[in-house]
Structure 1
Amino acid sequence: MFCGIDEAGRGPIAGPLVVAGVIILEEIEGLDDSKKLTEKKREKLYEEIIKKSKYHIVFKDNQTIDERGISYCLKSSIEEIIKELGENSYLMDGNTSFGIKDLEHKIKADATIKEVSAASILAKVSRDRYMCEVSSKFPNYDFEKHKGYGTKAHVEKIKKFGRCSQHRYSFKLKALGEENIGFQKSLF
């Protein structure tokens, strides 16, 4: 057995980064890249994955992303998953292993490797649920609609109300005349 790892929330301008690791213990039908599934299908699969897998989900809040950088948050989350799940083999969706020993990586693994697909679903659903939960505390931003991604409507809300405590201040917005678009510290 091996552990598939994927993340949700690397690119949004608000909310946490969520990284999940999954070791599938029983057959699960219908797994795919979370972005290719409807919200209803993801929610159904989420519950099945939780029941039929060994898993670990890590949240890194927006303040930690601002303070330490997205690369640090990804690497430390993966290291926590490896420590928690204790498998010998790990595969991460993407094009880097972040210098982590025993971590392999593969582009589009979330669409081709069932363990990574399952991790993709756990990360996405966990993050989406979080953004819907905090939406009621920050009603000016409609987080339940865009989940913190930099949509035109979200940027318009920031123009009108400024950023709130859920926003990533290190992610600069060209629409607001800010420099260093996509600035991301790397501290590993």
Structure 2
Amino acid sequence: MDKAKQDGENAESEFSDGDLFMSHLFNGGTLAEWEGRSPKLVEMFHYAAVKLYNSGRYDEAHKVFHELVRLNHLNPEYMFGLAACLQKKKKYINAANIYLSSILLDPGVSNIESSFRIAECLIVADKSLDQAEQYLEHVIKSCSGMDDLKNFKSVAEAKLDLLRRNRSSKEKSGGQEEKNKES
């Protein structure tokens, strides 16, 4: 068999494997399943990532959470962990985007904390403050009538109030600066 023919067959085989892989992912499969990783092993990775995060080793935790997301891109808890690491590393916009991914994977009441964290990231980054307000309003509304979340609600209310006051004072001082320039 000549080399060109063998290379062509190898490429065709790899393409077929790629089709199988994409079909696996598009039908709800994960890379961990594709690679034959046991759920127990993936859970051990998660345990290690949480332990690293809780001990303040955010760079290391970030790497493990990143691997977890690679292995199972459908798990909102892994996305949340990755976002939390990014937030601790002051990569606020990246963190906000990953928190949003965790919400999209698991819409519903369980995403209240992700919404809250997105607002925090946007506020600290001083970006999209209108959206930050909307996220805080969502958190407050979602926590209403839930006794176990009343402390969370009060923190969101305080952050929203502070955000609005800061924005109002910036608008007033901006108007004052314009008057000073005109004089």
Do they superpose with TM above 0.5? no
Q: Which has the higher strand share?
A: 1
Q: Which structure is larger by alpha-carbon Rg, 1 or 2?
A: 2
Q: Which has the higher helix share?
A: 2
Q: What TM-score do the two structures reach when normalised by structure 2?
A: 0.28
Q: What TM-score do the two structures reach when normalised by structure 1?
A: 0.27
